[in-house]
Structure 1
């Protein structure tokens, strides 16, 4: 459904609501009046008010308690006792399906030796059946790349009869044991794939680590989940997200299975929060199907599809992101990677332009981001439309990036957790000059580049107050470094909150529905223990989300 039709439906909804107010509809008894609060509306004018009225899941009044009480004399009144109200958080880059899947995997976050990985796998899979795949996630490929990737010897000894697949924290590498490699037919004679790399011992045997797309050499042998499995994982992931105050997400890349699962959950009205789905632009078959039928943007549904997520380059931690100049710390270990050719991205861009899809392309390195801007400029100028095309991550950019992105109206989708999580090795990778244009949130805002802040969960700390805290302080959860890492790139609390609410909604064409607390929008909001715009920045992470309201419930 076209956005113009959505706006028409919202106007109709507002008209009906206003008519009820004027003519005392019986449904006025269902109005709930929240008062004695600091309601941070996040509207364009930055309005903060003391009360808000909600009817049938829609905001029907925002202003002073006295005015709204007079306007809705029969409303049910809820005294918030001085608490703070903010719009529900729009996490604009998540992997909720993957998050839910993690209940079936051993958590390897923080491991620094293969023996630790083995111990956690044994604890999670105490009595695996022979031949059962043992799955884990969370070893940090950035940290491991700095000290040397792991070798599978201990995995082989511990699990000789079970294939093991251990996904890295950011998904840019996988670690497999000998049984898994045997099933996939990978040995010292296996040629290097066109994209990605098989990390090898000195004698040519694989260590068990496969980078980027090389993981598919083994992953295709892992038993595929069913649609019902995917539904359970999605619901588990979304419920956990909602419990922390996230009321809408952008699912950054969907498989055929997860797409079908989302569609069926939406049809059954089972989705607990709004989901803006991004198709997997690296999947040719999926793209052919959706270019044939076009976006699906129906306001009456909780699942919308208009975005196309494309993986272009790799990651900075694994030295696979595309940079103009060599990596500063260990250029010989770098394997700069294109996961899809620029010519293919250009074809996707022109087809997306024709059907008015939104492109959201993963680009980490300065060369990668520069190339994507070239493609965007050519495609956008071929057919001007409200594209809101995005660059996911934009971790390292060239000096002229800001002016180019601003002129094109390209949105940058950045993760505050990445800066604090990568700080131990990021400058080593880039050197003292390039680091000034890395994780550069302030530079983006100062150059008026449309900007959103999100979590990229589950690979990082993802709770909204953590994301906000990282964005404002540039410190980790232990308050390090004390003055913030390159603190000149930090955001104000209001800027960060806007990037997580109204602008998050705008970046998915959802600003008429959610993202701010204004008359006619859905009543998606949070009640917080403290005001994030007033507390000391170091205290933001301690703010509690005391109540979550989604569409008035």
Structure 2
């Protein structure tokens, strides 16, 4: 199924195939209308040209430029000096040489000759005195390309910025991680002097330590500077908290069990200081609510990295009440520096709110939308919490767990859909994915499920019987390719040699009619979208390795380059109900685009990650680099 196209389409005479590459003369500025007039030998020919131009410009503007506030010439044209190197992701016009941007919108696309011819004529007619200036034409460097603005379809925006404050990722031992915490405390005189102040951080990953065992509160007490403080540290995947003894004591008495979560205990039954999934809620009362200024810092740190890597939009997979209010206030006070599509978190213990909560449909000049709900079905594969049909191969005592009861899923999902909410569900294990698909099917009698574009966030392990339901229901698979290249090293031990084939089965999802959007799950993975692009088409690590050799891990599940590019541009736009204004370089859409230093669609795969972002552009304006 193709996403709906922009209603603004070019007349057949205005969008032609590229017919010529630019000559050196093409690089000169377009001649002014007065110069054109001077070259004409008779009033009759001039009069005829004006009539033709008037008809051309009138048709052009009325069909395409209804959104523009000023009926005058374009802001600029941007072209490739060596042929059609602009990948539009527009099926009607897939590669062009030039684009024209006016007032933040794409208004034309074609060869350099076509653009010069069309826009000279328009400029001549619009100015009765024939004094309109020529169309400014700029060129990207030779070898560079342009693609539509890139979307990361699954992020934790403020949390990524949080990781930049006290970075814990990349350590090799628990001792090194504790050392990072000490360095942070030492660098903050007020924190060092006051042991009652809470220390928070994000990013530890015990699966990357030399001894892949869970950390403990005792590890935090081993350092004299760190010891005795209230400390709460989020794991890289967001599914575990590591807390100090100070916090553990404050949480007493702890329940024996937590539905949908785990309190890690030692052999004597004492809590060790690690809380999984829903058990993390036990520590929430001891976490201070961040101030607006703190959240602003985190957001700005995220945006800084995002635009530097070519991101123009992010889908935030977890607006809790604090972050929702932050973005609402930010959007009211100023224009967001990047587009944000937010998923409002549904707390399993809360009452249904879909019939009374207000959706945000496009504030901050269309840059903030929050019309979807995010539900957690199960835990994570990394922590053994993904809900499976059969027990884990490496731990037959468990099949993982659901964070929400199947009966609740079948109750609330139809209600949210009936009330017009897009429903996005975190589902990793095959059982969790199957149960969510059951709930979507049950909702068919209440709502047009396909029209509301439901999403499975992660969709990591899928039983064959569930694959076909993606296409039939119109469910979108929101996947993170770099998760595959991370997990491939331990996943078979966890799932066994047969079940592993249904993990990260990108090609199978597409072949069953599913639509895929690509994301990073940052801060679980890095911010660079090209890392996901590379992983999707190679299924290799950045070093070119995999458990199956240099050909890739289950290479039959690779995506094509065009599928991956579409998964970062047009498909995320569809998944956020924005495909009429974003996702492709098409006339009438907002001028979001990225200039890459290399042609990622043709160069050798080992060179893809060497590609630099030369410019990131939102609404026609450069937010990173230059053009």
CA distance in 2, matches of 1:267, 1:9: 30
Q: Whole-Å Cα distance in 1 between the matches of residues 318 and 6 of structure 2?
A: 26
**1:89 aligned residue (150, 154, 159):** 150
Deviation of 1:238 (Å): 2.3
Alignment match, 1:185: 252
CA distance in 2, matches of 1:55, 1:249: 24
Residue equivalent to 1:298: 362
Which of the numbers 479, 486, 491 marks the counterpart of 1:426?
491
SS of 2:437's partner is helix
Picking from 317, 331, 342, the partner of 1:252 is: 317
Aligned residue in 2 for 1:79: 139
Change (3 A) 1:227 1:35: same
State the match for 1:31 in structure 2: 75
Match of 1:44 in 2: 91
Are residues 1:121 and 2:181 paired?
A: yes
Q: Is 1:18 equivalent to 2:46 in the alignment? A: no
1:206 maps to which residue?
271
Match of 1:347 in 2: 411
Distance (Å, rounded) in 2 between the aligned partners of 1:10 and 1:322: 47
Stretches of structure 1 that go unaligned for 5 or more consecutive residues are: none
TM-score after normalising by structure 2: 0.82
Q: Offset at 1:147?
A: 3.2
State whether structure 2 residue 253 is matched by structure 1 residue 163: no
Deviation at 1:21, TM superposition (A): 8.3
Q: How far apart in 2 are the matches of 1:167 and 1:283?
A: 20
Q: What is the aligned counterpart of 2:421 among 346, 357, 378? A: 357
2:482 partner SS: helix
The offset of 1:244, in angstroms, is 1.2
CA distance in 2, matches of 1:194, 1:436: 30
TM-aligned CA deviation for residue 7 of structure 1: 7.9
Distance 1:50 1:17 in 2: 20
Q: CA deviation at 1:337?
A: 2.1
CA separation of 1:380 and 1:234: change in aligned 2, threshold 3 A: farther
2:340–2:367: 8 Å Cα contact kept in structure 1? yes
Residue 159 (structure 2) pairs with residue 98 (structure 1): yes
Work out whether residues 173 and 211 of structure 2, in 8 Å CA contact, stay in contact via their aligned partners in 1. Answer: no
Q: Report the Cα distance in structure 2 between the residues aligned to 1:139 and 1:398, rounded to whole angstroms.
A: 31
Q: Does 1:415 align with 2:483?
A: no
Hey, what's the Cα distance between the residues in 1 that align with 2:283 and 2:334? 36
RMSD (Å), alpha carbons? 2.8
Where structure 2 has 5 or more consecutive residues not aligned to the other structure, the ranges are 11-56, 121-133, 622-627
Cα separation, 1, equivalents of 2:228 and 2:260: 29
Matched, 1:133 2:133: no
Alpha-carbon distance in structure 1 between the residues aligned to 2:480 and 2:262? 27
Contact 2:173 2:209 in 1 (8 A): no
Taking a change above 3 Å as real, the CA distance of residues 20 and 429 of structure 1, as seen in their structure-2 partners, is: closer
Residue by residue, what CA displacement relative to the aligned partner does 1:305-360 show, whole Å, maximum 9, x if unpaired?
Answer: 1111111100111111100110001223x472222222222222122122211000
- Greater C-alpha radius of gyration: 2
State the distance in 2 between where 1:101 and 1:287 align. Answer: 30
Q: 1:110 aligns with which of 166, 170, 175?
A: 170
Q: Of residues 481, 497, 510 in structure 1, which corresponds to 2:565?
A: 497
Render the CA deviation track for 1:233-260: whole Å, top value 9, x for unaligned: 2233223212211001111111111111
Does residue 63 of the first structure (1) align with residue 110 of the second (2)?
yes
Question: Aligned equivalents of 1:120 and 1:171: distance in 2?
Answer: 19
Name the CA distance, whole Å, in 1 between partners of 2:427 and 2:367.
28
Distance 1:287-1:94 versus aligned 2 partners, 3 A rule: farther
What is the aligned partner in structure 1 of residue 500 from structure 2? 435
Correspondence 1:220 to 2:285: yes
Deviation string 1:489-527 (CA, Å, 9 cap, x unpaired) is: 111111101111001110111001111000000000011
Provide the C-alpha distance between the structure 2 equivalents of 1:55 and 1:123, rounded to a whole number of angstroms.
50
Q: What TM-score, normalized by structure 1, do the two folds share?
A: 0.92
Q: Distance in 2 between the 1:123 and 1:111 partners?
A: 14
After the TM superposition, which of the residue ranges 229-238 and 429-438 deviates more from structure 2? 229-238
| Greater CA drift, 294-303 or 113-122 | 294-303
Match of 1:152 in 2: 217
Q: In 2, are the aligned partners of 1:420 and 1:476 still within 8 Å (CA)?
A: yes
How many residue pairs end up in the alignment? 543
**Whole-angstrom distance in 2 between the partners of 1:274 and 1:284:** 30
- Counterpart among 158, 167, 173 of residue 240 in structure 2: 173
C-alpha distance after superposition, 1:382-430 (max 9, x if no partner) = 3225111010101111011211121111111100110011112111111
Please state how far the C-alpha of 1:16 moved relative to its aligned partner: 10
- The 1:122/1:186 distance shift into structure 2, 3 A limit, reads farther
Q: Measured at CA, do residues 517 and 22 of structure 1 come closer, stay the same or move farther in structure 2, by a change above 3 Å?
A: closer
